[in-house]
Amino acid sequence: MQAPPRSPRAIPGSAADQDQRADELIAALVALPPDHPSRPGIRDQAITAWLPMAQRLARRYAGRGVPADDLTQTAMVGLVKAVDRFDPGHGVDFVAFALPTILGEIKRYFRDRGWAMRVPRRLQDMRMAITNANAALTQTLGRAPTITDIAAHLNATEEQVLEGLEGARAYRTTSLSTPVGADGSLQLGDSIGADDHEYELAELRIVLEPALARLTERERRIVTLRFYGNQTQAQIAAQMGVSQMHISRLLTAALTKLRTHM
């Protein structure tokens, strides 16, 4: 039975010493068969040893509206994937394999979770392309590029660039409690309009008057007492000297006429 390789001992001292130990842990891990009892412990040590690299990569993306803890956790997920998937037979060392794995995980996080509102993937890609084009063209032109410049650089239409810029506004949202105005006494939410149902009522009043004119004198009186006087059918029947059932039939007929004319 093959004896388990001994885990490399911790070597206190310089960063170079720590990097050497991290490399030794990865080498020890890949040398073990998948079912070896020592593998889980060495795997945990390897992840811990390479954790500073993941944290450094996460800090590169700080200040972009995403909590630092979320970035660190995402980078750690990428690190775990890199440790589990690393194969030295591909001819690259662990760092060369782990860097794109961790960065890819962080970029996927920004793509899937970083947007305050979900927009189509093509708009997300266009936003990234516009950002890169802005940086490149500013250097080449010596000024801020125009929409036409960006469209020509990306081989896209101006409409596509404008759509991308509009979609980019969904990356960040503004709180409705944000103060606006010179004195800040007004909040953003106070300035947002709402549907005014009085417009609908105004239209109904306009078409109601000619429709009421089509009713008989008695039908108009019943409708007025019921809906403007807020009287019950029994009260209307008592005033008009007929049965409540008769008032119910007359009211139904009057409303049917109104619906037809309106």
HEC secondary structure over the chain: CCCCCCCCCCCCCCHHHHHHHHHHHHHHHHCCCCCCCCHHHHHHHHHHHHHHHHHHHHHHCCCCCCCHHHHHHHHHHHHHHHHHHCCHHHCCCHHHHHHHHHHHHHHHHHHHHCCCCCCCHHHHHHHHHHHHHHHHHHHHHCCCCCHHHHHHHHCCCHHHHHHHHHHHHHHCCCCCCCEECCCCCEEHHHHCCCCCCHHHHHHHHHHHHHHHHCCCHHHHHHHHHHHCCCCCHHHHHHHHCCCHHHHHHHHHHHHHHHHHHC
CATH classification at residue 249: 1.10.10.10
- Shared domain for 66 and 150, answered yes or no, is no
Residue given tokens 């250097």 in the structure block: 139
Q: For residue 46, what are its two tokens?
A: 């390897």
Q: Is 29 a member of any domain? A: yes
Task: For 104-122, write each residue's pLDDT tens digit.
Answer: 888 888 776 655 566 677 7
- Shared domain for 21 and 107, answered yes or no, is yes
- pLDDT band at 171; cut points 50, 70, 90: low
Picking from 93, 113, 133, the residue at the C-terminal end of a domain is 113
Q: Which of 138, 198, 127, 128 is nearest to 164 (CA)?
A: 127
CATH classification at residue 103: 1.20.120.1810
- Shared domain for 130 and 104, answered yes or no, is no
- pLDDT band at 245; cut points 50, 70, 90: very high
Cα angle at 65 between 60 and 70, to 5 degrees? 65
| Residue, of 16 and 243, whose pLDDT is higher | 243
- pLDDT band at 228; cut points 50, 70, 90: confident
Mean pLDDT for the stretch of residues 50-60: 89
Instruction: Report the domain count for the chain.
Output: 3
CA atoms within 13 A on the CB side of 63: 2
- pLDDT band at 90; cut points 50, 70, 90: confident
- Shared domain for 256 and 228, answered yes or no, is yes
- pLDDT band at 78; cut points 50, 70, 90: very high
- Shared domain for 140 and 50, answered yes or no, is no
Mean pLDDT for the stretch of residues 153-174: 78
Are the C-beta atoms of 21 and 11 separated by less than 8 Å? Answer: yes
Which pLDDT belongs to residue 36?
Answer: 86
Q: What is the mean pLDDT of the chain?
A: 81
Residue numbers of the domain that contains 202: 198-261
Q: Is 87 a member of any domain? A: yes
Q: Is 160 a member of any domain? A: yes
Portion of the chain with pLDDT greater than 90, in percent: 8
Rounded distance, CA 78 to CA 84, Å? Answer: 10
